[in-house]
Structure formats: C-alpha cells, structure tokens
C-alpha cells in the first residue's frame, strides 16, 4: 500500500461546458449552468429546470454508427475519458495494456434507454425493441466501451453507489494501483438522467427544487431558502497512475490522492443520519488512510446538494471531524451551486474541481448564498472565488442508501 498515486489527466463534460479549461473558468467566475429543461416537455412537472450539457455533440467523439448503441451517459463518459487520456499523454503498448484499466460508474445509468424502450414496447410491441437495448442500458458498459476504445486489458469495473459513485470509482481505482493490480487507471462517473422518468421520480420524492422561474438561482447550498437540488448531467474522468512512473515520463501532476474513506449510515434509504455519523466516519477514514492531521486540511469540496436536511447535516459533520474552531478556518464550497447535482457523475467531476483548486491555488465559490442558514455557519466562500495556499483538500460524496465516500487530495509541487 506504499505506492503513491497521482492524477495526470482530466476529462470534464458539464453544464458549464466541455473540457477542463471551459468548465474551470466558468466555475471560478461563478457562472451557473442551470436552465429550463429542453430534453423533453417539462410543462407538467413540478421541477422544470436542469443542468444540461447543451454544448455536447456525440459525433465529435464517437463514430456515428456507434452512437445508436449507447445511452447518453455512455457518450458523456467516453468523451470525458478521451479528454483525460489525451491530457495524460500516456502511451499504451502491447506490453503495458494489461496493467492499465478502467473504473467508471453511474448512479442511474441507462434510465433514458429503459424508459424509451419500455414506451416502445407498450405502444408497438416486443418486435420493436432495439437489439442494442440491453448493452445501451448496462452501467458497466461505459467502462467496457472505454477499455475497447483504448485497448486497456487491466481491471475493468463499474461502481453503482448513487451520488457517491464517482468518488468510490476513483478511490477503488487508486487502491488497485496501490496494491499493484494496475499501474494506471481511467476512473470517474457519468450520468444522463434528465429524462421524464427521473425528473418525475425525484419530484415525487420531493428532492428537487421548484424554483423554476429563477433557474440560475435555484441551486443555493447552505442558504436558508434552499428547497431541493437541481438535477444535472455530465461526466468527470481522471487518469490515475503510479507517481514514479508519471514523474519519469514528465507528466503533469495535478494532485496526489493520499486518502480514501468509505462508510455506511445504516439509517434510512434516502435521508442522511441526522447527526452526520456516516459522513464523520467517512472523512475520518480518509484522513487516517492518508495519515494526515485534520488541522492540515484547508479546503473541502462539499457534497452540498442544496437540500434542507443534507446541507445542515454535512455542516455538523465537518464540525465534529475538525472541531468547531478548526472547522471555521476551513474553506468549504459547493460547486453544485453552479453545476447542479450530477448524481453518479458528481464525485468524478468534483474530484477534478478539488484537484484543480490545489493545482491553481484557487478555491471555487458557492454562488447564491444570499441568506445563510443559521445552522450552516462555516466559511462557504460565498459568491467569489478566492486565492489560497492549500496543501490538502477533501472531496465529499454522500448517496441514497447511506453510502458515503471521501477523497483526500494533496497538492503536487
């Protein structure tokens, strides 16, 4: 477990744009990527806004004849993986192919394909079901497509842990490299759930905001007027490799992944433990794994979904882990205020944001924090990005079913 793992490639497909440069510049500028839903007629839905990836064109990334075989979440994942691969500049050979693998997951996966094919079955009968239906809906097929694309014969795995998926995927991939099961991995999450069934389902669960008349102000973590999350789509994939190998080939070291923590609430299928017990143990596990003193952490990219209960619970958990005095000194921001909640892709995207914050020494803001909730009283970097000097940062992801994941990143010189 003494092999050190670094991030050397980044790939982003988000509501703020395509690629690291576009997304990061929008994030630092405090720009919102939220708008009215365009993927279907949302007139009759309680929540009618989303973070859509409107700049994405599948034909730019995938051969046209292959697109019809894939759900949109796979297309996002392939594009993000291609960006991360290109950014890393890694050369696959016949000799190293079995030492490079893929772990890309999704919280919901091919729900759009399932919905559309079910509607086709009902309206036109079983003979009209697409022969590609099963492979276009399976979550592990995004890892499969990526492995085939690059000829990667190492570990091939997919994670499905709701909104903690992307974080778990990266953490699992890091451990594979640490244990010597691989030398390099593409890892992250992809999601494309802006469809009738998902929006209707989350609305029925009263999880989504109904601030439809002000979409760019709708995602407002830590604010007393928050009323639910904004559903969003996209992908975040990183290229991970063993540090000494990355140094030898002169790769860009965005950040080192030094700690990974997991926990379960064992409390409720959708609500977090009211005192944040699972989140506390998860963050502590990441700190123990990295052998890092809590006082060394300068930034937390919070789960911060803009739900009334979740934001308050995460705030309490941070205070428990770091102590009230130290917690007040840590910069905590929710980039979901700008991207919305990418569900299974959120962890991958936000791990990249955390790595970039360390790399550039700039903390992205939390926008729309106009009236802070008295229960949420930490330094949430409101409205404006902040220059910083930070060495260690945490990225948190918490999912339905009480599944929790935290990554501890260290700035690379």
Q: Which residues are catalytic?
A: 163, 303, 341
Alpha-carbon gap, residue 104 to 377, rounded angstroms: 35
CB burial of residue 46 (10 Å; 0-12, 13-18, 19+)? middle
Q: For residue 363, what are its two tokens?
A: 């903390």
Alpha-carbon gap, residue 333 to 32, rounded angstroms: 14
Question: Which sign does the torsion angle of CA 250, 252, 256, 257 carry?
Answer: negative
What is the distance in angstroms between the CA of the first residue and the CA of the last residue of the chain? 22
Cβ neighbours around 266 below 10 Å, total: 10
CB burial of residue 337 (10 Å; 0-12, 13-18, 19+)? buried
Closest CA relative to residue 231, chosen from 342, 152, 329, 306: 342
Contacts of 166 (CB under 8 A, 6+ apart): 105, 159, 188, 189, 236, 344, 345, 346, 347, 348, 349, 350, 351, 397
Closest CA relative to residue 228, chosen from 47, 376, 15, 370: 47
Helix, strand or coil for residue 162?
A: helix
Q: For residue 394, what are its two tokens?
A: 């945490």
Contacts of 122 (CB under 8 A, 6+ apart): none
Q: Enter the DSSP assignment of 76.
A: H
302 near 221, Cβ under 8 Å?
yes
Side-chain half-sphere exposure of 3, counting CA atoms within 13 A? 19
Closest CA relative to residue 7, chosen from 290, 236, 300: 236
Query: Cα dist. 343→73, 105, 162, 227, 347 in Å?
Result: 12, 11, 7, 17, 8
Alpha-carbon gap, residue 97 to 93, rounded angstroms: 6
């Amino acid at each position: 477990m003494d092999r050190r793992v670094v991030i050397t490639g980044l790939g982003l497909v988000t509501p703020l744009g395509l690629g690291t440069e576009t997304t990061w510049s929008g994030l630092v500028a405090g720009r919102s990527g939220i708008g009215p839903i365009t993927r279907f007629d949302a007139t009759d839905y309680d929540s009618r806004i989303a973070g859509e990836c409107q700049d994405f064109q599948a034909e730019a990334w995938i051969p046209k004849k292959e697109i019809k075989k894939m759900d949109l979440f796979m297309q996002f994942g392939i594009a993000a993986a291609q960006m991360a691969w290109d950014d890393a500049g890694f050369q696959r050979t016949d000799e190293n192919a079995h030492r490079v693998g893929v772990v890309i997951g999704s919280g919901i996966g091919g729900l759009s394909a399932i919905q559309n094919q079910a509607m086709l079955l009902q309206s036109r009968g079983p003979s009209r079901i697409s022969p590609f239906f099963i492979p276009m809906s399976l979550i592990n097929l995004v890892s499969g497509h990526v492995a085939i694309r690059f000829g990667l014969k190492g570990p091939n795995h997919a994670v499905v842990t709701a909104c903690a998926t992307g974080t778990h995927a990266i953490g699992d991939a890091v451990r594979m490299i640490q244990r010597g099961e691989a030398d390099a991995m593409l890892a992250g999450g992809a999601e494309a759930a802006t469809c009738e069934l998902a929006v209707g389902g989350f609305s029925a669960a009263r999880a989504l905001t109904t601030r439809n008349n002000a979409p760019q102000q709708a995602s407002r973590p830590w604010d007393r007027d928050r009323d639910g999350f904004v559903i969003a789509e996209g992908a975040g994939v990183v290229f991970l490799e063993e540090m000494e190998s990355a140094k030898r080939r002169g790769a860009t070291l965005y950040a080192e992944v030094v700690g990974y923590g997991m926990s379960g609430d064992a409390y409720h299928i959708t609500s977090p433990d009211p005192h944040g017990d699972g989140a506390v143990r998860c963050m502590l596990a990441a700190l123990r794994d990295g052998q890092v003193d809590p006082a060394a952490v300068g930034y937390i990219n919070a789960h911060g979904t803009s739900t009334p209960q979740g934001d308050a619970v995460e705030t309490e958990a941070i205070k428990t882990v770091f102590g009230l005095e130290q917690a007040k000194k840590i910069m905590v921001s929710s980039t979901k205020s700008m991207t919305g909640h990418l569900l299974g892709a959120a962890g991958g995207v936000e791990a990249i944001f955390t790595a970039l914050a360390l790399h550039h020494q700039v903390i992205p803001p939390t926008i729309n924090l106009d009236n802070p909730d008295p229960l949420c009283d930490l330094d949430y970097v409101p409205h404006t990005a902040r220059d910083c000097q930070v060495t260690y940062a945490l990225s948190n992801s918490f999912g339905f079913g009480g599944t929790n994941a935290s990554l501890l990143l260290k700035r690379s010189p």
